[in-house]
Amino acid sequence: MPPKPDLKSIVAGIHADLAPRFGEGKVADYIPQLARVDPRRFGLAVVTLEGETFLAGDAELPFSIQSISKALMLTLALGRHGETIWRRVGREPSGSAFNSIVQLEAESGIPRNPFINAGAIVVTDTLLAGHTPREAIAEIVRFVRFLADEEGIVTDKAVARSEEATGDRNRALAHFMHSFGTLKHPVDHVLGVYFHHCALAMSCRQLAKAGLFLANNGRNPVTGHSVISSARARRINALMLTCGHYDGSGDFAYRVGLPGKSGVGGGILAIAPGHASIAVWSPGLDATGNSLLGSIALEMLANRAGWSVFGH
């Protein structure tokens, strides 16, 4: 067994090493509310299976998790509907931008995976089954609070409104899929729920706690809550590794070697199976829409802690 990493020193060291670079990258400005975020923010949280928590920087400051919610929504949808969801969404990397419509036409309205926008809209459609949009949003917020074991988590309504006002591309994707019969509910209902779960506001610490079940075979080791079967937890991690960073997923797997899901708010949730759940936030994005310094911080962490799904 390799020695246990000194996570307190590692987390503090990453923060100190990256401090001169805070503000690098380009903040997402196509959602006006996100464009207002201070680009120099940086937070890092590591929560181990033993429940130890290591924080640096702005790790207690809530931010818009955006597409990170897609991994949590997939968990909820698998719990409710099981493997039937794969009839309507694929499991392959897309190689295209997260909001591309090109593949949908070529592939008869079936999105490539649940982590591009079109795929997440389909997953959201499954969560509407038997619910009004308001009920579905309430269930989603309850579920995320349950995962993080924190009651204070809410949707940032200003961000949700901002997304709704600028969501033409998502409307196009949804209407296109509706025309193929991939969506079962009215487009406006599905998108209302979709915009709200993308607008969840969480801190790095809360997000790392929410992801802990994925590091421990589907069960939160701190609360004892069973979230999902170990087989499904493995599969969600596999999809995060192959599809979690849009068309930058291969590069992230190569450099970091951990399952991860990014969001254009600058956050990344990463999982070190058997060890810890990690959340990092740095609003400046790289060319593929992933947190520039967040990815570098996770590469540093994986190297210094000796964590990789591909071996030590």
**Contacts of residue 248, Cβ cutoff 8 Å, sequence gap at least 6:** 286, 288, 289, 290, 295
Two structure tokens written together for 288: 């593929």
Burial class of residue 262 in the structure, from the number of CB atoms within 10 Å of its CB (0-12 exposed, 13-18 middle, 19+ buried)? buried
> Is 254 one of the annotated active-site residues of the chain?
no
Of 246, 277, 280, 291, the active-site residue reads 246
152 CB neighbour count, 10 Å cutoff: 11
Query: 208 φ, ψ to 5°?
Result: -65, -40
| Lookup result for tokens 């698998």 | 78
| Collapsed DSSP state (helix, strand, coil) of residue 279 | strand
Whether 246 is a known active-site residue: answer: yes
Q: Name residue 279's beta-bridge partners.
A: 45, 269
From the candidates 47, 94, 100, 194, give the one annotated as an active-site residue.
Answer: 194
The vertex-18 CA angle with 2 and 57, nearest 5°, equals 90
- C-alpha torsion 302→306→309→311, nearest 10: 140
CB 197 within 8 A of CB 191: no
The yes-or-no answer on residue 264 being catalytic is yes
Catalytic-labelled residue, pool 70, 94, 159, 277? 70
Catalytic entry in 11, 27, 46, 67:
67
As a whole number of angstroms, the distance between CA 119 and CA 88 comes to 9
Note if 67 is an active site residue: yes
Question: Do residues 258 and 241 lie in contact, with contact meaning Cβ atoms separated by under 8 Å?
Answer: yes
Among 264, 277, 291, 295, the active-site one is: 264
Question: What does the alpha-carbon distance between residue 205 and residue 59 come to, in Å, rounded to a whole number?
Answer: 6
The residue among 149, 144, 121, 138 whose CA lies nearest residue 221 is: 149
Sign of the four-CA dihedral 132, 138, 144, 146: negative
Q: What's the DSSP call for residue 278? A: E
* Residues acting as catalytic residues: 67, 70, 194, 246, 264
